[in-house]
């Protein structure tokens, strides 16, 4: 028996549009006869070929298992699929899909979202999910929609962050630079804080470790005792200016607001189409950095919502709604065991797989002093992560 929340769809219209002289995007829209609603809500899922079939099957399994709690359409964005691959991929979405659009893989995920919003202009409210999204609870769509319907709310997400890429890159760069300058003695606990980074970028520093291995156990949280001469702070600031100069490796980072930089994550968010209007008709050819700015830049989606005087909220698996200042209470992204996540993804799963000290660092880069006093449990080398809302 067909799911009463699903809508039948028939007919197909093909569109071709050009974004510049070098790139054409072939775009095919599946148009259906949709039941009349006060306004149309569409779950819009990004199916990226390059990620393989496993995360798509995980999403479909979670989507079919969880009761969304409300009527909606389902739109699939097929990203990077050759025509010969489309048939097999579309079979995965049988009895789910009402419409679909195909875009090339040179586009960013954000480009793909905006193309769907541009082309399906009859949809009033979009809920976008990325390839790795997995739904964790019933009523998830209703919870998001109910939040968005409240006065003054412009965007609702399953997770969010205060993170500033400017502060985070600066912290990571300083930790690696101090190792390279010989300013830090090898410290196993410090290594565990920055394990992934040091494994890749501080091989010489790691050679200093003692032949006697420290047997790791779940000790109470405390920061390793790190001491280095004050001169290194001044020298690093000079080095950082070089990195972020016009021709520097991190020149792009100057475009990001400092911490705290509240942003709804784009793995699962719901927004009215009218609030995407300012991003439409912009050629749909972002660079990777531009797509990051869309999520967390000064003129990105969340900032544009907040600058209109509207609210940006997290909704957790209990259906509770949290304004910006309350986000750290939501028990979602990089907060404790993330027990109230409505929608998980590869980043939330990766966080679970880290050692506890790595999680401390990432949580602090994400939420800063809203979690407490950093020196008590993580070394941030003087990089500020202070939260003080006006």
The gap from C-alpha 204 to its chain's centroid, in whole angstroms, comes to 33
> What's the pLDDT tens digit per position in 149-191?
999 999 999 999 999 999 999 999 999 999 999 888 888 888 9
3-class secondary-structure state, position 301: helix
Long-range contacts: 219-223, Cβ < 8 Å, 24+?
221/356, 221/360, 221/376, 221/377, 222/376, 222/377, 223/374, 223/375, 223/376, 223/377, 223/378, 223/379
Q: Is 254 within 8 Å of 244 (Cβ atoms)?
A: yes
CA dist 185 and 200 (Å) reads 18
Domains by residue range for the chain, with CATH: 12-162+260-345 (3.90.550), 165-255+354-376 (no CATH)
The gap from C-alpha 98 to its chain's centroid, in whole angstroms, comes to 26
User: Which token pair is 115?
Assistant: 């193309």
> What's the pLDDT tens digit per position in 198-245?
999 998 888 876 533 433 333 344 455 566 678 899 999 999 999 999
The gap from C-alpha 205 to its chain's centroid, in whole angstroms, comes to 32
pTM of structure: 0.86
Q: What is the mean pLDDT of the chain?
A: 85
163-185: burial string, b at 16+ Cβ within 10 Å, e else: bbbbbbbbbbbbbbbbbeeebbe
In terms of C-beta density within 10 A (0-12 exposed, 13-18 middle, 19 or more buried), how is residue 246 classed? Answer: exposed
Q: Is 41 within 8 Å of 125 (Cβ atoms)?
A: yes
Peptide bond into 220 cis (omega under 30): no
109: left (phi over 0), alpha (psi -120 to 50) or beta: alpha
Other C-beta atoms closer than 10 Å to the C-beta of 31 total 15
* Whole-number percent of the chain with pLDDT over 90: 69
**What pLDDT shows up at residue 375?**
57
* pLDDT tens, the chain, 390 aa long: 334 334 333 223 233 233 332 233 333 333 333 233 468 999 999 999 999 999 999 999 999 999 999 999 999 999 999 999 999 999 999 999 999 999 999 999 999 999 999 999 999 999 999 999 999 999 999 999 999 999 999 999 999 999 999 999 999 999 999 999 988 888 888 899 999 999 999 988 888 765 334 333 333 444 555 666 788 999 999 999 999 999 999 999 988 999 999 999 999 999 999 999 989 876 667 888 888 899 999 999 999 999 999 999 999 999 999 999 999 999 999 999 999 999 999 999 999 999 999 999 999 999 999 998 765 668 889 999 999 864
User: Which token pair is 335?
Assistant: 């907060």
């Amino acid at each position: 028996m067909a799911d009463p929340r699903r809508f039948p769809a028939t007919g197909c219209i093909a569109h071709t549009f050009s974004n510049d002289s070098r790139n054409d995007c072939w775009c095919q829209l599946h148009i259906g006869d949709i039941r009349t609603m006060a306004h149309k809500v569409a779950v819009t899922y990004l199916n990226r070929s390059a990620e393989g079939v496993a995360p798509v099957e995980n999403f479909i399994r979670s989507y079919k298992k969880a009761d969304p709690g409300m009527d909606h359409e389902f739109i699939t964005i097929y990203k990077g699929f050759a025509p010969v691959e489309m048939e097999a991929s579309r079979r995965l979405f049988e009895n789910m899909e009402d419409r679909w659009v195909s875009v090339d893989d040179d586009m960013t995920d954000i480009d793909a979202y905006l193309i769907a919003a541009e082309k399906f202009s009859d949809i009033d409210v979009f809920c976008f999910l990325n390839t790795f999204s997995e739904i964790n609870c019933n009523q998830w769509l209703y919870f998001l929609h109910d939040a968005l319907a409240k006065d003054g709310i412009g965007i609702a997400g399953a997770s969010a962050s205060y993170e500033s890429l400017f502060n985070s890159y600066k912290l990571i760069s300083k930790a690696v630079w101090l190792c390279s300058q010989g300013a830090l003695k090898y410290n196993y606990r410090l290594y565990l804080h920055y394990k992934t980074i040091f494994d890749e970028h501080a091989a010489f520093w790691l050679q200093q470790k003692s032949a006697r291995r420290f047997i790791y156990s779940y000790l109470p949280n405390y920061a390793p005792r790190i001491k280095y001469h004050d001169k290194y702070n001044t020298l690093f600031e000079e080095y950082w200016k070089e990195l972020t100069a016009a021709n520097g490796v991190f020149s792009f980072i100057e475009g990001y607001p400092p911490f705290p930089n509240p942003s709804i994550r784009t793995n699962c968010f719901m927004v009215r189409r009218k609030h995407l209007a300012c991003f439409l008709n912009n050629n749909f050819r972002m660079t990777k950095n531009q797509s990051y700015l869309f999520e967390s830049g000064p003129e990105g989606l969340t900032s544009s919502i907040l600058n209109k005087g509207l609210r940006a909220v997290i909704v957790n698996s209990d259906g509770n709604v949290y304004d910006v200042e309350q986000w750290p209470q939501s028990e979602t992204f990089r907060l404790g065991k993330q027990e109230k996540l409505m929608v998980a993804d590869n980043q939330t799963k990766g966080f679970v797989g880290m050692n506890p000290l790595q999680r401390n660092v990432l949580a602090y880069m994400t939420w800063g002093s809203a979690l407490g006093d950093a020196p008590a449990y993580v070394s941030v080398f003087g990089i500020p992560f202070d939260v003080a809302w006006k």
